[in-house]
Amino acid sequence: MTNQDDQFKKVVSHAKEYGYVFQSSEIYDGLSAVYDYAQNGAELKKNIRDYWWKAMVQMHDNIVGIDASIFMHPTTWKASGHVDAFNDPLIDNKDSKKRYRADVLIEDYCAKIEGKIDKEVDKAAKRFGEAFNKEEFITTNPRVVGYYDKIKTILSRMAKSLESEDLADVKALIEELEIADPLTGSRNWTEVKQFNLMFGTKLGASAESAMDLYLRPETAQGIFVNFLNVQKSGRMKIPFGIAQTGKAFRNEIVARQFIFRMREFEQMEMQFFIKPGTQKEWFEHWKEARMKWHLSLGMGTENYRFHDHEKLAHYADAATDIEFKFPFGFKELEGIHSRTDFDLKQHEEFSGKKLQYFDHETNESYTPYVLETSIGLDRMFLAVFSNALVEEELENNTTRTVLKLPSVLAPVKAAILPLVKKDGLPEIARQIMDDLKWDFNVTYDEKDAVGRRYRRQDANGTPFCITVDHDTLEDQTVTIRHRDTMEQTRVKIEDLREIIHQEVDVKTWLKKM
């Protein structure tokens, strides 16, 4: 098992042990790629959603939020292109009977080459020490340049074949690269076939009158079909945005990597309606704005990168992913797409209703272009959670497991701990908790020695522990301990609210943008 696999296993088991994420219907052996958020997970997820909503909706006076239904008129999905084109290329292994996404097999092959590049870079960094210039090394070292060229050639061939629906060439590429079934090593592959990812269902009481519906595979279409309603009722002027968060459903062929690729998941999307011709500058604007949002959480600049698309979706004229370094390598976290006027035009055509914007200044009507930012809430959860989980060596040669969640996102902001369960200390602790719970999600813990309680809260990601001891009875002060530094200070009870507020307040964090 590699270090990466090992770290990822720890993430999954920690998420279960500390009440963050459970397998859905676990008592019936679970349902593949469907997960439940537990008591801490639901809070963390809500905090991420709120952090996004605050930055995207509340902080922009030209962006409003909506909450559209999961069920939509089935023609929506014909218009959007999902009925015809929302497919993944799949391939089966004849020996293992396992099914894979052909493009993912090829991408994983390229990720292995990237792993080789990383190794070369690490070796060179050690060899050259302080004088090491990474940029120069990766652009001049023949072996590394060769690896990059190889990746580029493979990915552009794959993009071209998928674009032209040349699935035989996708299979040929898999064979030429000698890609084997990751589980068994077999290279006995079937042809590559397209597979539609939408879940179908029925609306109506009787079989004869029932209407075929789909569970929405993206939230974006709920925004497009409401474009004119929102624009008119909100008197919105271009440029303006409509945002929403909500569930989306995809019958993913390869559902693995925990909550990275799920069949039921949540998206946080924003469509920004703009004047045609301005899409390039808005694309750059939202690339930068979204990256700043990510970086404001302090999870390390080195863990993010942009990946511009070679193969564009049917609706886009430019697209990039913000990739994050998950325990299994760099993978897509968020997509930023310049969607042109594709969706609005399609809905105009299929509905027969005009979906145009009337510009009062120029007295002309036009179909706006759209810039989209789309991030998976569950994927963001995994990014935050996996990045936060660390094993720390302490000075006394012991280790501690600590979940260094950005404190603005932490499910529980403070734990109130009476040093002992007697002498009136629990009563004071409960009183502090009753005061603080108006402002923060806080918890009370009196079980075990205080050191063990600290460790428990560290592993749970709680930024502050507040300990009530016998001195509290005398001078109304408590010890406040910081999760990351383990530093302890003595403060007045009356100052607690402000101390916690300063550290966990959304404003403090978003101001870093």
Q: From the annotation, which residues make up the binding site for substrate?
A: 101, 218, 265-269, 372-376
Tell me the residue type at 205: A
Cα distance between residue 324 and residue 331, in whole Å = 6
Q: What is the nearest approach in angstroms of ligand GAP to the Cβ of residue 99?
A: 16
Instruction: Decide whether 105 or 415 has the Cβ nearer to ligand GAP.
Output: 105
User: Which residues sit at the interface with ligand GAP, rule CB under 6 A?
Assistant: 218, 220, 250, 252, 261-262, 265, 267, 269, 332-335, 372, 374-376, 378-379
Kindly report the backbone phi and psi dihedral angles of residue 330, in degrees, each rounded to the nearest multiple of 5, phi listed first.
Answer: -70, 125
Instruction: Decide whether 384 or 496 has the Cβ nearer to ligand GAP.
Output: 384
Q: From the annotation, which residues make up the binding site?
A: 101, 218, 250-252, 260-269, 332-333, 372-379
Q: What is the nearest approach in angstroms of ligand GAP to the Cβ of residue 80?
A: 9
Q: H helices within 67-101, ranges in order?
A: 75-79, 82-85
Cβ neighbours of residue 152 closer than 8 Å, sequence gap 6 or more: none
Instruction: Decide whether 125 or 254 has the Cβ nearer to ligand GAP.
Output: 254
Instruction: Decide whether 355 or 432 has the Cβ nearer to ligand GAP.
Output: 355
Cα distance between residue 7 and residue 405, in whole Å = 17
Q: CA 473 → CA 273, 404, 428, 477, distances in Å? A: 60, 32, 8, 8
Q: What is the nearest approach in angstroms of ligand GAP to the Cβ of residue 81?
A: 12
Instruction: Decide whether 117 or 262 has the Cβ nearer to ligand GAP.
Output: 262
Helix (H, G, I), strand (E, B) or coil at 465: strand
**Residue of minimal CB distance from ligand GAP?**
376
Long-range CB pairs of 307-314 (<8 Å, 24+ gap) are: 307/332, 310/155, 310/156, 310/159, 311/158, 311/159, 311/162, 311/163, 313/337, 314/81, 314/85, 314/342
Residue 284 in tokens: 């750059």
Cα distance between residue 35 and residue 104, in whole Å = 22
Instruction: Decide whether 18 or 381 has the Cβ nearer to ligand GAP.
Output: 381
DSSP 189: B
Q: What is the nearest approach in angstroms of ligand GAP to the Cβ of residue 255?
A: 7
Q: What is the nearest approach in angstroms of ligand GAP to the Cβ of residue 25?
A: 18
Instruction: Decide whether 372 or 469 has the Cβ nearer to ligand GAP.
Output: 372
Q: What is the nearest approach in angstroms of ligand GAP to the Cβ of residue 270?
A: 10
**Half-sphere exposure in the Cβ direction for 400 (13 Å, CA):** 21
Contact 337, 316 (CB under 8 A): yes
Which residue in the block uniquely carries the two structure tokens 């590699």? 2
Report how far Cα 125 is from the mean position of its chain's Cα atoms.
31
Instruction: Decide whether 304 or 464 has the Cβ nearer to ligand GAP.
Output: 304
